[in-house]
C-alpha cells in the first residue's frame, strides 16, 4: 500500500508584523480592542509592493524541502494553492518552479479553492502519490491578500494578511494521509468573493474582497464541524483519537466554535491566527509549520487539517504525521 506522508514543512511571513494599533495609525477607523475581541487577530504581515505570491511560496518551499532533507529537483509535482496569483498566466506554480531552479520537468499547476486551497492541493497530491504516478509533491499555499483588500472597508481589511506555507508529501509504506473529503457549493458565492475581472486591458467590476461576515461565520462553523466528522468516520476514528486539530486560521471565534462542536479541547487546537490573520490558502500550512517547529507536533501524531472559503468550498484531511 502506498501512502502519502508529510516529509517536511516550511512557512514564510514577509516583513515585520503589523499590529492592530499600526492599522489605527494608518488611518483605519478601528481599534485593537474590537479586532482582538471579534477575531483574535493581533498582527498580520503585509508584503512589500514588489513581492509576489511566488516569492513567498519560494521561501516557504525552500524551508519545507530542506526540512525533508531533499533538493528541489527531487520533487516531481508542484501544486500552489492561491487566489492571488502573480499574473493571469502562467501559473504561480510554474513561476515557483523556476525560482526554485527546478529544471527536471516536474508537473506544476495552481489550485483555486480560496481558503480551502491547501486542503484541495494536499488531497490532489495525495491521489497522484497513491496512484504511483508521482513520488514527491510540493504543496504550497501562498497569498498576498493585501492586494485585493479595500482598505476603506474596516469590516474586511483588518482580517487578512500575506504569507505562505508549504509541505513536501512523499510516497511511503508507512501511514500518512488517512482520509480526505472535499466539497463545494457554488450557490453561496455572493457572501465571499472578489467579483471583478480583467478584460480588454481594464479591470471590469469590483476588484476588492467583499464579504457578508455573519453569513460566512455561520456557514464556516457548520461545515468545518461536518467535514471533520466526515474524515473521522471515513477512518473509523473518534475525535478523541486525534492529537491536533488545525482549522483554517480565519477567526479565533470560528476556531473555538468548531472545536466545541467536535468536542475537541482548545489545548489540542493549533491557533496561530493571532500572529498572521487570515492568510487564506496559506493559513493551514503556516499553522502546521509553526507548530512543528515549536515542537508541539511530533512524528506519529494524528492531525486533522480543515479549511473553508469562498466558493463556497470546504474540506478536511486526517493524517498521521
Binding site for ligand COA (CB under 6 A): 30, 34-35, 38-39, 115, 154-155, 158, 211, 213-214, 216-217, 220, 250-251, 254, 278, 308-309
Of the two residues 72 and 141, which places its CB atom closer to ligand COA in the complex? 141
278 is catalytic: yes
Min dist. Cβ of residue 74 to ligand COA (A): 33
Of the two residues 52 and 156, which places its CB atom closer to ligand COA in the complex? 156
Min dist. Cβ of residue 229 to ligand COA (A): 20
Of the two residues 58 and 211, which places its CB atom closer to ligand COA in the complex? 211
Min dist. Cβ of residue 279 to ligand COA (A): 11
Of the two residues 155 and 240, which places its CB atom closer to ligand COA in the complex? 155
User: Which one from 115, 188, 251, 276 is the annotated catalytic residue?
Assistant: 115
Min dist. Cβ of residue 100 to ligand COA (A): 28
Of the two residues 202 and 214, which places its CB atom closer to ligand COA in the complex? 214
248 is catalytic: yes
229 is catalytic: no
Min dist. Cβ of residue 138 to ligand COA (A): 24
Q: What is the SS3 assignment for the chain?
A: CCEEEEEEEEEECCCCCEEHHHHHHCCCCCCHHHHHHHHCCCEECCCCCCCCHHHHHHHHHHHHHHHCCCCHHHCCEEEEECCCCCCCCCCHHHHHHHHCCCCCCCEEEEECCHHHHHHHHHHHHHHHHHHCCCCEEEEEEEEEHHHHCCCCCHHHHCCECEEEEEEEEEEECCCCEEEEEEEECHHHHHHEECCCEEECCEEECCCCCEECHHHHHHHHHHHHHHHHHHHHHHCCCCHHHCCEEEECCCCHHHHHHHHHHHCCCHHHECCCHHHHCECHHHHHHHHHHHHHHCCCCCCCCEEEEEEEECCCEEEEEEEEC
User: Which one from 45, 58, 276, 278 is the annotated catalytic residue?
Assistant: 278
Active site residues: 115, 248, 278
Amino acid at each position: 500500500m502506498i501512502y502519502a506522508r508529510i516529509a517536511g514543512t516550511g512557512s514564510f511571513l514577509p516583513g515585520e508584523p503589523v499590529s492592530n494599533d499600526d492599522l489605527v495609525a494608518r488611518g483605519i477607523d478601528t481599534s485593537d480592542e474590537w479586532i482582538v475581541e471579534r477575531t483574535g487577530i493581533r498582527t498580520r504581515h503585509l508584503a512589500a509592493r514588489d513581492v509576489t505570491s511566488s516569492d513567498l511560496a519560494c521561501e516557504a518551499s525552500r524551508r519545507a524541502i530542506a526540512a525533508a532533507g531533499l533538493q528541489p529537483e527531487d520533487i516531481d509535482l508542484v501544486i500552489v494553492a492561491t487566489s492571488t496569483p502573480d499574473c493571469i498566466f502562467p501559473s504561480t506554480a510554474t513561476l515557483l518552479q523556476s525560482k526554485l531552479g527546478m529544471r527536471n520537468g516536474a508537473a506544476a499547476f495552481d489550485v483555486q479553492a480560496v481558503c480551502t486551497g491547501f486542503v484541495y492541493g494536499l488531497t490532489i497530491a495525495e491521489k497522484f502519490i497513491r496512484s504511483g504516478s508521482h513520488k514527491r509533491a510540493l504543496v504550497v499555499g501562498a497569498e498576498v491578500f493585501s492586494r485585493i483588500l479595500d482598505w476603506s472597508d474596516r469590516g474586511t481589511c483588518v482580517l487578512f494578511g500575506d504569507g505562505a506555507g508549504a509541505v513536501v508529501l512523499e510516497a511511503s509504506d508507512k501511514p500518512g494521509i488517512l482520509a480526505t473529503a472535499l466539497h463545494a457549493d457554488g450557490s453561496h458565492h455572493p457572501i465571499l468573493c472578489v467579483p471583478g475581472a480583467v478584460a480588454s486591458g481594464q479591470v471590469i467590476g469590483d476588484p476588492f474582497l467583499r464579504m457578508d461576515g455573519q453569513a460566512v461565520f455561520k456557514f464556516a462553523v457548520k461545515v468545518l464541524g461536518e467535514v471533520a466528522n466526515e474524515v473521522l468516520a471515513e477512518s473509523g476514528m473518534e475525535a478523541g483519537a486525534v492529537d491536533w486539530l488545525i482549522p483554517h486560521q480565519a477567526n479565533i471565534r470560528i476556531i473555538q466554535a468548531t472545536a466545541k462542536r467536535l468536542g475537541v479541547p482548545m489545548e489540542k487546537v493549533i491557533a496561530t491566527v493571532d500572529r498572521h490573520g487570515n492568510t487564506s490558502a496559506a493559513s493551514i500550512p503556516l499553522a502546521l509549520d509553526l507548530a512543528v517547529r515549536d515542537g508541539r507536533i511530533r512524528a506519529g501524531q494524528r492531525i486533522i487539517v480543515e479549511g473553508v472559503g469562498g466558493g463556497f468550498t470546504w474540506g478536511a484531511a486526517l493524517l498521521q504525521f
